[in-house]
Amino acid sequence: MSNEQLEQVEALQAASPMCGRMIRALKGLIKEYEGNKAADTDEYMHSVLQGLEWIFAVYRSTKDIINLSGDVIDQNEVNKSVIRLNEANKADNDTEKAEAFKGILKFVEDFKAEADNIVAAA
């Protein structure tokens, strides 16, 4: 394994626990936007988005090793979910926010699962 690949494995090892926390947070946000919205839901969403930015950054730096066995992560689907979230935020549409977060949740779950597989195999 090259030095670059070892660094990517280390990044994935660090990302996995954060992905676990983000999965729980996203599931909570989806429930809130589907009808159980609290007074601080939108504020909480912004802190979750900061965590997602970090996960997206780790993904970008490790996508070669993540997708080594094929397209584990469909970048087009992820992009569609992010665009959908931006549009939902502009329209202040909670139902659309929930749907967009479902797509982002799938990305985080897939990323974590593949990260865990790669770390275990390293």
- pLDDT tens digits, the chain, 122 residues: what are they? 788 888 999 999 999 999 999 999 999 999 999 998 999 999 999 999 999 999 999 999 999 899 887 778 998 999 999 999 999 999 999 999 999 999 999 999 999 999 999 999 88
CB 115 within 8 Å of CB 12: yes
**What's the CA gap between 101 and 97, in Å, rounded?**
6
pLDDT, residue 72, reads 84
**What's the CA gap between 25 and 48, in Å, rounded?**
7
Domain count across the chain: 1
Domain range holding 18?
Answer: 3-121
**What's the CA gap between 79 and 74, in Å, rounded?**
9
Residues 6+ apart with CB under 8 A from 30: 98, 101, 102, 105
CB 73 within 8 Å of CB 67: yes
Whole-model pTM?
0.92
